[in-house]
C-alpha cells in the first residue's frame, strides 16, 4: 500500500496549523496565569489538573485506541460506538462513587466540591468523546479548525476573567473547556452518522477486556508525563511546583507540535496491512516528527534564559536549566509515539508496549529520589528524560520484528542537522532570542535539506507545490 500523499499532506498541514496556533495560546495563558494567580495558586491549579486527568484515564480507559485498532481489523463502527459509550458511562458512575466515598474521610470544604464538579464536567466529555471515528474516517482537518476556535475562546476567557489567586478554579475550568467541547463535537459527528446500535450485553465484558491493555498504556503514559510534577510538589511544595510547571508546560506544548503528524500517520496506518508499507509509513512518520523535535532539543540551551524570562513573570533560581533538560525528553517521546503507539499498539501488540513502558516508569521516580538532594529540581527533569529514553529504546527494539529493521537513516540524518545547528550557535555566541532563532533556523533547515534531499524532493514534487512553482516560472 503506497503512501497517500494528498490526504496525508492535507491532514499534516491542517494539524500543524492548529498546533502552531495552539502553541501561541498556552504560552500567553502561562504568562497571564503566573502573573495574576501567583506561583502557589498556579502550581495548585496545574497539580489539580494533573490529578483530574489521571482520574479521567479511568473512564477513557483506552477505548479510543481499542476502537481504532478494531476498525483497522475490519469491525463495524456502529456497535463499537454504542457499546463503548455504555461502558464509559458505567465507569464514570463507579469513579464518581469512589471519589465521593474517599472524600468522606476528609473534612468537606468548598474547594473540594468545586473539584468534584470539575471532575463531573471532565468525565462527561470523556464519555461523549468519539474522536476515534474522526481519526478512522480521516476527518481530522475539520476538527482541527474547530479546535483553533475553541483555544482562542479559552484564551480570551482566561484573559478577561482570571485576575486574582482566588480565580484558580475558574482558570482550571477554562483550561478544560476546549477539551470537553471538542468531545461534544466528535459525539455529534459520530451519532449523526452511526446512530444507536442495538446493545448486546454479553459483548460488554469482552470489549472491556480488549480495551484493558490500551487503558494500561494510557495510564502509564499519563503517569510518565506527570510524575515529576507530583514529586516536586511533594518534596519542594506548591510554589516550587508552580515554578517548575511553567517550563514543563512549555515543553509539553512544544512536544505536542508532532501531534498532527501522529494523527495523520495513525489514520493512514489503520489501513496498512503489509509489512513493507508499514515500514515506509513508520520511517516517514519518524522523520517528520524528528524534523520538528530536533531543533527544539538542540536549540533549547541557547534560548532558555531569555525565553523563560520573557514568558514568566515569576522566576526562581531552582528552575534554571529545567527547560533544556525537559526538551531532551521529547526525543524519547517521539520513539514511544512512532514505534509504540503507531506500530505496536495499532498492529495488535499493546501488551508488549505496556511492558516496554513499565521499566521507564519505575526508573524515573527512583532516579528522582536518588538525585533530589544533590540536584534539587533538576533531578525531576533528569528523571523524566531517563524514563522516556529507556522506554523509547525498549519500544523501538520491540517494534523491529513488525517493520523489518530499525530506520536508522531518518534518525541519524535529522539528529545530525540538529547537531550542526548547535555547533554553529555555540561557536558564534549570538546575543538575543530572535537572532538565535533566526540563525539557528536557517542553519538547521539548510542542513536538514542537504542531508535529506530525497525527502525534500518528495515535498517539492507534491502536485500542489509543483503547480505553484510552474505558475511562477
Residue ranges covered by each domain of the chain: 5-406, 407-467
Residue 112 contacts residue 154 (beta carbons within 8 Å): no
pLDDT of 465 reads: 45
pLDDT of 214 reads: 87
Tally Cβ neighbours within 10 Å of residue 469.
10
d(CA 422, CA 296): 11
pLDDT of 464 reads: 44
Residue 160 contacts residue 30 (beta carbons within 8 Å): no
d(CA 273, CA 270): 8
pLDDT of 133 reads: 84
Torsion region of 108: left, alpha or beta (phi above 0 gives left; psi -120 to 50 gives alpha): beta
Distance of CA 215 to CAs 24, 54, 352, 369, Å? 31, 12, 13, 27
* pTM recorded for the entire structure: 0.79
Contacts of 426 (CB under 8 A, 6+ apart): 302
Question: Taking the mean position of all CA atoms in its chain, how far away is CA 258?
Answer: 8
HEC-encoded secondary structure of the chain: CCCCHHHHHHHHHHHHHHHHHHHHHHHHHHHHHHHHHHHHHHHHHHHHHHHHHHHHHHHHCCHHHHHHHHHHCCCCHHHHHHHHHHHHHHHHHHHHHHHHHHHCCCCCCHHHHHHHHHHHHHHHHHHHCCHHHHHHCCCHHHHHHHHHHHHHHHHHHHHHHCCCHHHHHHHHHHHHHHHHHHHHHHHHHHHHHHCCCCCCCCHHHHHHHHHHHHHHHHHHHHHHHHHHHHHHHHHHCHHHHHHHHHHHHHHHHHHHHHHHHHHHHHHHHCCCCCHHHHHHHHHHHHHHHHHHHHHHHHHHHHHHHHHHHHHCCCCCHHHCCHHHHHHHHHHHHHHHHHHHHHHHHCCCCHHHHHHHHHHHHHHHHHHHHHHHHHHCCHHHHHHHHHHHHHHHHHHHHHHHHHHCCCCHHHHHHHHHHHHHHHHHHHHHCCCCHHHHHHHHHHHHHHHHHHHCHHHHHHHHCCHHHHHHHHHHC
Residue 61 contacts residue 341 (beta carbons within 8 Å): no
Torsion of CA 123, 48, 218, 337, to 10 degrees: 120
Low-confidence ranges of the chain (pLDDT < 70): 1-27, 72, 105-111, 138-141, 257-274, 313-318, 455-473
Going by C-alpha positions, the residue among 36, 28, 264 that lies closest to residue 139 is 264
Radius of gyration from C-alpha coordinates of the chain: 22
d(CA 131, CA 118): 21
Cell of residue 428, nine digits:
558564534
Contacts of 444 (CB under 8 A, 6+ apart): 294, 295, 298, 299, 417, 418, 420, 421
Question: Taking the mean position of all CA atoms in its chain, how far away is CA 336?
Answer: 11
pLDDT of 218 reads: 87
Contacts of 34 (CB under 8 A, 6+ apart): 42, 242, 246, 312, 313, 314
pLDDT of 148 reads: 77
Residue 4 contacts residue 268 (beta carbons within 8 Å): yes
pLDDT of 469 reads: 46
pLDDT of 107 reads: 53
Amino acid at each position: 500500500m503506497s503512501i497517500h500523499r494528498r490526504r496525508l499532506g492535507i491532514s499534516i498541514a491542517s494539524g500543524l496549523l492548529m498546533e502552531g496556533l495552539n502553541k501561541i495560546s498556552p504560552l500567553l495563558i502561562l504568562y497571564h496565569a503566573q502573573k495574576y494567580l501567583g506561583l502557589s495558586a498556579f502550581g495548585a491549579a496545574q497539580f489539580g489538573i494533573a490529578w483530574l486527568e489521571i482520574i479521567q484515564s479511568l473512564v477513557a480507559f483506552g477505548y479510543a485506541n481499542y476502537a481504532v485498532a478494531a476498525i483497522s481489523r475490519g469491525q463495524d463502527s456502529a456497535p463499537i460506538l454504542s457499546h463503548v459509550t455504555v461502558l464509559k458511562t458505567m465507569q464514570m458512575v463507579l469513579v464518581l462513587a469512589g471519589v465521593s466515598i474517599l472524600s468522606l474521610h476528609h473534612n468537606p470544604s468548598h474547594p473540594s466540591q468545586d473539584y468534584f464538579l470539575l471532575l463531573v464536567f471532565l468525565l462527561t466529555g470523556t464519555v461523549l468523546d468519539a474522536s476515534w471515528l474522526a481519526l478512522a474516517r480521516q476527518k481530522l482537518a475539520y476538527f482541527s479548525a474547530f479546535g483553533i476556535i475553541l483555544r482562542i475562546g479559552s484564551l480570551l476567557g482566561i484573559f478577561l476573567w482570571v485576575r486574582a489567586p482566588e480565580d484558580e478554579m475558574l482558570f482550571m475550568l477554562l483550561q478544560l473547556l476546549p477539551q470537553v467541547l471538542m468531545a461534544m463535537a466528535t459525539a455529534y459527528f459520530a451519532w449523526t452518522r452511526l446512530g444507536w446500535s442495538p446493545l448486546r450485553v454479553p459483548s460488554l465484558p469482552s470489549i472491556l477486556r480488549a480495551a484493558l491493555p490500551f487503558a494500561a498504556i494510557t495510564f502509564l503514559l499519563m503517569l510518565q508525563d506527570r510524575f515529576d510534577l507530583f514529586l516536586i510538589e511533594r518534596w519542594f511544595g506548591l510554589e516550587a511546583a508552580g515554578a517548575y510547571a511553567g517550563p514543563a508546560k512549555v515543553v509539553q506544548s512544544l512536544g505536542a507540535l508532532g501531534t498532527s503528524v501522529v494523527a495523520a500517520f495513525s489514520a493512514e496506518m489503520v489501513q496498512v496491512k503489509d509489512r513493507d508499507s508499514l515500514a515506509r509509513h513508520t520511517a516517514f512518520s519518524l522523520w517528520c516528527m524528528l524534523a520538528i523535535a530536533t531543533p527544539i532539543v538542540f536549540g533549547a540551551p541557547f534560548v532558555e534564559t531569555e525565553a523563560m524570562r520573557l514568558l514568566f513573570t515569576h522566576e526562581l533560581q531552582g528552575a534554571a536549566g529545567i527547560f533544556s533538560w525537559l526538551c531532551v525528553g521529547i526525543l524519547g517521546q517521539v520513539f514511544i509515539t512512532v514505534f509504540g503507539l503507531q506500530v505496536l499498539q495499532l498492529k495488535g501488540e499493546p501488551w508488549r508496549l505496556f511492558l516496554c513502558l513499565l521499566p521507564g516508569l519505575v526508573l524515573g521516580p527512583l532516579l528522582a529520589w536518588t538525585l533530589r538532594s544533590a540536584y534539587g529540581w533538576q533531578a525531576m527533569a533528569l528523571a523524566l528524560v531517563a524514563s522516556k529514553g529507556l522506554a523509547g529504546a525498549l519500544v523501538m527494539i520491540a517494534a523491529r520484528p513488525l517493520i523489518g529493521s530499525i530506520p536508522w537513516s531518518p534518525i541519524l540524518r535529522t539528529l545530525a542537522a540538529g547537531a550542526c545547528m548547535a555547533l554553529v550557535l555555540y561557536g558564534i555566541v549570538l546575543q538575543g532570542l530572535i537572532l538565535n532563532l533566526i540563525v539557528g533556523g536557517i542553519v538547521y533547515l539548510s542542513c536538514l535539506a542537504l542531508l535529506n534531499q530525497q525527502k525534500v524532493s518528495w515535498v517539492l514534487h507534491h502536485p500542489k507545490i509543483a503547480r505553484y512553482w510552474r505558475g511562477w516560472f
